[in-house]
Structure 1
Amino acid sequence: MGPPAEVQAFPVDLAGVLPGAQPGLKVEVVTPPASETAGGSGADGNSGASEPPAAQAAQPGGGSGQAGADDIAGKANVSGVSGVSGVSGVSGVSGVSGVLGASPASGSNAIPVREDTAIKPGPVQQGAAVPPYRIGLLLPLRSDALRQASEALRAGFLAGWERDKQGVQVSVIETGDAAPDVLASYVDALAQQDMIVGPLARSAVSAVANSRKVAKPTIALNYPDNRETVALPPQMMVIGLSIEDEARQIADWAGREQPGATAYVLGGSVAWQRRSAGAFAAQWQRIGNASKVVELTTVNGYLNDGELVALRGRMQTEPGAVVFAALDPDQTRQLRIALAAPPLGDIPIYGTSSLNPGRARQVPGTEMDGVRLLDMPWQLQRDHPAVMVYPQLVPSSERKPDADMERLYALGIDAYRVAREIARQQDQPLARFRLDGVTGQLNVSFGDGAARFERRELQAVYKNGVPVPLTLSQQP
């Protein structure tokens, strides 16, 4: 039994990780004595004083990182209020990389383990401490194009971990956006983690899915390229946000409300608009209805007025039609105004979450009233108990509120919750569960053959310029 660990207090700013955390929060850092870190086994279960490979991979650029705070990573437990270990000066939302949640095996700073909630990675000898379940969060934080999205996802994931972290250790693994780089980091992480959450980029997800390297549970945050033709390995599941899935859900909803109607599927030339329009049209035809796809011209982001006049003339000859708007909020408002006069004033208009710009950009007025859409509880039900338990994403001085970043933050929360529940059920042949998630109602089957994931989002209708969720009694 060696000398007691040294307890020191370091001011660690968690405000960038979890909105609402107090800047300069002091947490206890337990440093193993020299006799344990110079090659022996420390109280936290790490051998030696060097960083584990996962913590090294989490440093910006893959280098040695900063001296001082980074030296804590991999050999110290940060307990008390935050429970964060491995602190480094990563800019942006998080400010934390390395290993999160590492716990000493005994002593006053050990995290208590309850039999009914503990996650157990495998059989252990009687009397031995239960090692934490290790989750690697693989994000392209070194990518200029994907850094902001990665930071939002990381912040949400850590918010989920902060609320339910007992027995779980999280390592943030930073990559670029090149698929070979991500795949190499993924393969390295397999040796250090029990589960991988990521990648994020479509090309990287494709690389992992086709690599034949998926040997542990892997939760991808986006769909692979050509998702309809790519077969995922048995231990891989995708939980990314999908505009196509929303469009298909909208088609089913509109089909129940407007059976047999002809749908005018209106969109622009932007890639996501074409994907959304195509998914709706295919599902609309699948349920036995006719559709007419119209790609509208845009000038500086606005719809061409002449085309709207011509469209109105065509639609007047087809009473009982419905509209699916694969458009942004401003374009949909322009469309709504163009169709507002009789006899088209009451024509039903449906759309995905792309019609909701978020609270910061909602425009007062009634032009959008009656437009139907889908969106996640995080955007529509901020006062729901399942949403309120998590801190809100606080925009920085350099970044204004953004609905897309809010949705990615919410995805990070649900990604952790799904990973946590799969880990809880790891001893079962099939992990099957439902979650009341902040991105929707989640249905998951994982572990026996092909994984299955389904997200059902909320139905809403615009009232006084604000999308309002429909109650169950109002839904068809």
Structure 2
Amino acid sequence: MLYKWAKLLSLAVLLNGLCPPAQANTTIAAAAAGDVANPTIPIASIALLLPSRSGPLGAAAEALRAGFVAAYERDKSGLALTVIEAADTPADMLSTYLAASENHDILVGPLSRTGITAIVRSGKIVKPTLALTQPDFAGDKETALPPQLLPIGLSLEAEARQVANWVSADFAPGKAFVLSTSTAWQRRAASAFVQQALSHGLHSAQMTLRTDGAMLNAAGLAQLQQRIQSEKPQLLFAALNADQARQVRSAIDAEIPIYGISQLNPLLPNDNNQEHRLPELDGVRLLDIPWLVQPDHPAVMIYPRTISDPDQQRNADLERLYALGIDAFRIAREVAARNTAFQVDGVTGKLDVHFGIGVDNPGFERVEPAAVYRDGVVVPLDER
């Protein structure tokens, strides 16, 4: 297991909350603040539904759970937390969710798109639910989300739209080349950028680069360079990973600006290993969460960093999920306090939330800080 999560989950104190407790892996409870007469009754009970035993999602679930519990341990007054093992198949996730909703006040999860899609389609979301990803309705854009559901997951599509807003202010009207491979997440991010940029008057030419194994196809890169020379776009948006972006940068004119999303950053903060640096990407601009690019931010410094086994390397994507766990708890705590419109200066960005009783159209926005590669590492962009 990538991290030593057991230490964070060592408490297993079972106390009654507003709802009777459900069967779960771990239940952690805290006394309600100021409740002297009966200090064992919490203000609200939270169920965290995660597929920790899943092969594909197990490591991600453990990272998110560790972040959530770390934040809970720091600010748990008045709350009871139950961590529930939820298989990642749609039918099992729905069954677990429905059982948990009978016994808890706030539900956090699931982590998979198929899981939250099954829950939404059931029409049985009657408790405040903070989804850790977006539902997938296979192109059905008319499906409305229930008012008790708020997706708060890290979204590459949302990052792409934020980048489009950013570059459009400087380059619209104009033209961008939008690069991706046939990988699903890259195509989604590329499409999100194109649509958002067009709304600002910035036109885009979307290009799908072929791959030869882990490498981008050399002939395709040569064709890209030819098109850049003939069509002269003002910028490139790279819906790519860092290795692919390095290949693009080495194949084209280094003067053309390149923008991207968090997947361009595989680095961890305060990593002094020179071999991990990516000087080929110097000047590339991107978005990423404060947890990775602003380690000295006050909201970041108050939470413990993840603990990795000596023989295992920390991973930027799992760090992002750990950070998401922290902010998911902070949002759940505000919902438990029945706040319906609030902002959180979070470790995954500045969060603007409209959700709760009486809110007919829930809203959630995450604004991530801009960053740039300098000397092979990602640092905050001073000018924004």
TM above 0.5 = yes
Closer/same/farther in 2, CA of residues 269 and 438 from structure 1, 3 Å limit: same
> Counterpart of 2:133 in 1: which secondary structure?
coil
Quick one: distance in 2 between partners of 1:149 and 1:159? 16
Quick one: distance in 2 between partners of 1:18 and 1:279? 40
Residue 8 of structure 1 is matched in structure 2 by none
> Counterpart of 1:210 in 2: which secondary structure?
helix
Shift of 1:365: 5.1
Partners of 2:13 and 2:29 within 8 A in 1 = no
TM-score (norm 1): 0.73
Shift of 1:128: 5.4
Shift of 1:397: 5.0
Quick one: distance in 1 between partners of 2:114 and 2:158? 20
Structure 2 residue 344 is matched with structure 1 residue 355 = no
1:434 aligned to 343, 346, 349, which one?
A: 343
Structure 2 residue 329 is matched with structure 1 residue 416 = yes
Aligned pairs for 1:293-332 within 5 A: 293-332=206-245
Residue 98 of structure 2 is matched in structure 1 by 187
With 291-300 and 228-237 compared, the bigger mean Cα shift is at: 228-237
Partners of 2:64 and 2:323 within 8 A in 1 = yes
Equivalent AA in structure 1 for residue 283 of structure 2: G
Equivalent AA in structure 2 for residue 100 of structure 1: I
Closer/same/farther in 2, CA of residues 186 and 467 from structure 1, 3 Å limit: same
Shift of 1:366: 2.9
Closer/same/farther in 2, CA of residues 176 and 300 from structure 1, 3 Å limit: same
Structure 2 residue 51 is matched with structure 1 residue 140 = yes
Quick one: distance in 1 between partners of 2:333 and 2:267? 29
Closer/same/farther in 2, CA of residues 247 and 45 from structure 1, 3 Å limit: closer
Quick one: distance in 1 between partners of 2:318 and 2:312? 10
Residue 16 of structure 1 is matched in structure 2 by 5
Quick one: distance in 2 between partners of 1:45 and 1:357? 43
1:166 aligned to 64, 73, 77, which one?
A: 77
1:291 aligned to 204, 210, 221, which one?
A: 204
Quick one: distance in 1 between partners of 2:118 and 2:374? 44
Quick one: distance in 1 between partners of 2:223 and 2:97? 52
Shift of 1:363: 3.6
Quick one: distance in 2 between partners of 1:396 and 1:130? 36
Shift of 1:127: 5.3
Residue 41 of structure 2 is matched in structure 1 by 131
Equivalent AA in structure 2 for residue 346 of structure 1: E
Shift of 1:385: 1.5
Residue 4 of structure 1 is matched in structure 2 by none
> Counterpart of 1:416 in 2: which secondary structure?
helix
Partners of 2:209 and 2:216 within 8 A in 1 = yes
Shift of 1:418: 0.2
Partners of 2:267 and 2:377 within 8 A in 1 = no
Quick one: distance in 2 between partners of 1:235 and 1:435? 20
Quick one: distance in 1 between partners of 2:75 and 2:142? 36
Equivalent AA in structure 2 for residue 444 of structure 1: V
Quick one: distance in 2 between partners of 1:53 and 1:195? 13
Equivalent AA in structure 1 for residue 49 of structure 2: L
What is the RMSD computed on CA atoms of the aligned residues?
Answer: 2.5
> Counterpart of 2:255 in 1: which secondary structure?
coil
Shift of 1:257: 2.0
Quick one: distance in 2 between partners of 1:464 and 1:397? 27
Q: Which has the higher contact order (CA 8 A, sep 6+)?
A: 2
Choose between structure 1 and 2: higher helix proportion. 2
Partners of 1:18 and 1:159 within 8 A in 2 = no
Partners of 1:196 and 1:217 within 8 A in 2 = yes
Structure 2's unaligned 5+ residue stretches are: none
Quick one: distance in 2 between partners of 1:345 and 1:171? 51
Number of aligned positions between the proteins: 371
Equivalent AA in structure 1 for residue 169 of structure 2: R
Quick one: distance in 1 between partners of 2:311 and 2:151? 31
Quick one: distance in 2 between partners of 1:464 and 1:324? 21
Highest CA radius of gyration, 1 or 2?
1
Aligned pairs for 1:356-371 within 5 A: 356-359=265-268, 363-364=276-277, 366-371=279-284
Shift of 1:16: 2.4
> Counterpart of 2:292 in 1: which secondary structure?
helix
Structure 1's unaligned 5+ residue stretches are: 1-13, 32-43, 47-51, 60-96, 104-110, 119-125
C-alpha offsets along residues 9-54 of structure 1, whole Å, 9 cap, x if unaligned? xxxxx952467x9xxx9x8x999xxxxxxxxxxxx558xxxxx652
Percent identity of the aligned residues?
A: 46
Partners of 1:261 and 1:322 within 8 A in 2 = no
Residue 276 of structure 1 is matched in structure 2 by 189
